[in-house]
Amino acid sequence: MIRLKGIKLVCAASFLTSIALLLLPFVFKLDGKTHADWQQFLGRFHPTVVHLPIGLLLLVPLLELAGRYRPALLEAAMFILSLSVLSCLLALVLGYLLAYGSGDAGAGVARHMWGAIALTIGALGCALLRSATGGPRSFYPYLLASVLVLLAWTAHQGGSLTHGNKYLTEFLPAPLKRFGMGTVQASAFPDSFYARHIHPIFDANCVVCHGAQKVKGNLRLDTYDRAMRGGEDGAVIIPGNPERSILWQRITLPPDHKKFMPSEGKPPLKPEQIAWIRAWILQGASPELKSLPGIYVREEETLPQVPDYSGKMTEIAETARSAGVTLVPVSRNLGDGLILNTVDAGQKFGDAQLAGLAPFAPYIVEAELGRTAVTDGCLPIVAKFTHLRALHLEETAVTGAGLSSLTQLPQLSYLNLSGTQVTAAAIAPLTTMKNLRHLYLYNTPAARQQP
């Protein structure tokens, strides 16, 4: 009698739990708006916990099969199945807190959510059938097999949210792509600057969090119309005014800023990509313009490789550390060069510290010296960076004296002098540089002296 009451109590609790899980999305709707910080804090443990039910559920059928030869393992199978139910509930709660707290929504989030709810209810049903007697227990193997299939599908949905919905199809062999797998949405204006340059930037860096599968802050960037519609903070693109555009503001924040985009540890956009987005917004953010005034993009450009520095990597790392900066490889291919990053050094980094890096000048392709203590004295040193392609000097004490030395850099295509005291006369020598396609003079005497 006592055992019968216990069974009834477990069944009633399981039924109520299932009803609560089914009602959860309707009570706390994923509306694409951010909520409490504590929800995001707890929710970020979801990626850690979510692997627990996966491992436990996969272990159950192995124990069931092994139990045919060693009956003692059958008890272990029931114990592991019970743990899997509890771990499913924990992972589901943390996952829901993550989505609700951080403002995640979208078709992919919804599929992953409902898959997790169904999986948890299915695991709960398996536990009930496993402990049942008579006829109902015969359905247990079939339900367990269904749960394993559902587990694979739900895990795939979660992986797509993290890595993008093209993660499994991006490198498909050509024969499979011909059957329609891994297709990419075509643009209405395939020859426009937006379709050739802006949309690919969004697709590669932003759509994982702001696409059809996952929508943070009610913002989608997977299509032109959605991007112009904006999100919960309003329009993110103000045609003709990049400085007022939230999109531009977010991608130009310091990488350690809370609102920096791309977020979640993704690498910042390249200087030329930021320049293209700014120029595109400045010219009206049109989806139809085929080119932008003053913006020239070389298609399939092959850049010269830097000399081999593999034997100096220890020396480079030690010197950079002593200067309070980092010298980060552009890619795994050492020939792509190094990026000089001074964000951690700030005003502690000046001309003397830059001179200490001169032995590695031939390997540096991008120098981020903005907001440091460098002066005009850094320009002759920078002129030794023979493979330099991008130079940040914004908000420094540079006045422009000696800018002519930069004409010795044949690959320099990006130069940011915003917030400095450079004059129109000082930048005049730069007009002879054929490869210098992006020159920024915002908030400088040079900008104010232009007619």
Residues 155, 143: Cα–Cα separation, whole Å: 18
Name which of 42, 73, 38 is nearest 59 in CA terms.
73
- Examine the pLDDT at 128 and tell me if it is beyond 90: no
What are the domain boundaries of the chain? 2-163, 193-282, 310-449
Q: State the first-to-last Cα distance of the chain, in angstroms, to the nearest integer.
A: 95
Residue with the bigger pLDDT between 264 and 317: it is: 317
Angle between helix 72-102 and helix 2-27 axes, rounded to 10 deg: 20
Per-residue pLDDT tens digits for 138-181: 888 899 999 999 998 888 888 776 665 555 555 555 555 444 44
pLDDT at position 369 over 90: yes
Name which residue leads in pLDDT, 98 or 172.
Answer: 98
Q: What percent of the chain has pLDDT above 90? A: 28
Residues in contact with 209: Cβ distance below 8 Å, sequence separation at least 6, in sequence order: 216, 262, 263, 264
List of residues 6+ apart from 218 with CB closer than 8 A: 31, 32, 33, 103, 105, 231, 232
pLDDT at 182: 42
Question: Which tokens belong to 210?
Answer: 């702001």
Q: What is 310-449's CATH superfamily?
A: Ribonuclease Inhibitor (3.80.10.10)
- Range in 53-62, 315-324, 437-446 the model is least confident about: 437-446
Question: What pLDDT score does 166 carry?
Answer: 55
CB atoms within 10 A of CB 10: 14
- Rounded-to-5 percentages of helix, strand, coil across the chain: 55, 5, 40
pLDDT one-digit tens code per residue, 264-304: 667 788 887 888 888 888 888 888 887 765 554 544 445 68
pTM for the model stands at: 0.50
Residue 121: pLDDT band with limits 50, 70, 90: very high
Residue 146: its pLDDT value, please? 92
